[in-house]
Amino acid sequence: MSQHRHLRPAAVASAAAVVVLALGFTGTAHATAPTAASSSAARTGDDPDQPENPLYDAPDSFHVESGREAVTLSWSQLSAASAYEVYRAEAEGTGPDEVGPYELLATVSTGSHTDDTDDPDVAYAYRVRAVDRAGHFSPYTEPRRGTRDTVAPFAPRDLTLAREDERGVTLTWRTGDSDSVKYVLYRAPSSGGPRVKVGATTSLTFRDTKGEAGLPYSYEVRGVDAVGNESEGSDRVTGTRTVTAGTAPKAPTVVNAALVGRRLTLSWSQSPYVPVSSYTVYRSRTTPVDVTDPGNRLATTSREEYSAQVGEGADERDYYYAVVATSRHSVASPASASVRPAYSEPRPPRATEIHEVAPGAGSVRIAWYVTPSGGDEAPVTGYRVYRSTNPGVTKENAEFSKETSGSEYVDRGLTGGTTYYYAVAVLDEDGLESALSPEVSATPSG
């Protein structure tokens, strides 16, 4: 039990009380007055029957609410009161007399007080009385009990998977002989991932209808008491919402949307638990894209990406796009979020490098590295070989150029003994050309 200090009693009785007693008025000091305030028994305010005391009644609607962080007290305010004294005593038992001595806890001017100085998990009795500016006191409220409760309930027991079907996963459990007033359900993908709260109930059963069909989840339940303390988790069970022919796929998630010059690139991800046979791309100038309008349909693909050349006008940048997945049983998913591709000017492809030079009789063979393309880069369509008989070959001073789709070129019909200089540029689908590769040279034989 906590140790409480004893309050110092008042040294002098109220002068008003002395006058009243001298005139022969009778009054009875409250038997329930706290020990710490016993010297106030002769004050006028201790007898609400005396006509000059306006505080005849105790504050009404006295309420004490236990909590995890504090005990909260509230009461109705009296019009004649200027303040309220809050008293507290340790409640050693369940009976009304099984309390320790009351001590003055606080004096407040409003109709509430929060006690966060009490020892955790100790029962206390509280009562309140009003006081006016003249020093009159009201009677005390009836005592009410409260506790700063930090003890969590016992964990629920015997969590059981009761049913799995296309509507969801149904779970049942036992209370675990706890003081829980409700239960909170959590789940996480059984393959690993964050735990999320899926719902709460006051019964001993719960149906999770929001889980993704086909995805196995690990479930646990926790009890919550009246002040919000949450228990440890129950044992865990695994359940899966059943996939049927009528199950719709999950909506695709668009992960990239870019418009580089005229080249549109979209890509998305799709949950694997409901097999998908195709994806339909929709677009419109308003968001969200109305996927029920056939006029908004742009294309259908079996891949999780789509690319195309759009029109020349700047208004092509104003479209929003959405994707719908269709299952093998022709059931459509909800539409993805509508996205407007980020626009950027096209960039030339990355340069390559010649890695082999082989002179021959009246010829030179050169080979270079293939330049990859990906992300928002335009596909590479070919290469252009530049040749000069002078060092420092450029696109402008080259005496010869040749376009090819491969990654090597044999230059024939050359003069033996003459040194030739070569560089290669990369070409892409947007019609752009990279910077030249580093220059190489070779001298064919005669």
Smallest CA-to-CA distance from 66 within 145, 178, 181, 128 is with 145
Query: What are the pLDDT digits (tens) for 371-389?
Result: 887 666 788 999 999 999 9
pTM of the model: 0.61
Q: What token pair was written down for 426?
A: 């990369």
> Which pLDDT score, from 0 to 100, does residue 50 have?
55
- 3 state DSSP class of 50: coil
pLDDT of residue 3 exceeding 50, the answer is no
Pairing of strands 342-344, 253-260: parallel
Query: What are the pLDDT digits (tens) for 69-127?
Result: 999 999 999 999 999 999 999 997 777 667 889 999 999 999 999 999 989 999 999 99
Q: What is the mean pLDDT of the chain?
A: 88
pLDDT of residue 6 exceeding 60, the answer is no
Contact 94, 125 (CB under 8 A): no
- Burial of 110: CB neighbours in 10 Å, binned 0-12, 13-18, 19+: exposed
pLDDT of residue 67 exceeding 60, the answer is yes
All structural domains of the chain, each given as residue ranges with its CATH number in brackets, are: 15-147 (2.60.40.10), 157-239 (2.60.40.10), 253-344 (2.60.40.10), 354-442 (2.60.40.10)
Residues 329, 330, 335: CA angle, nearest 5 degrees = 125
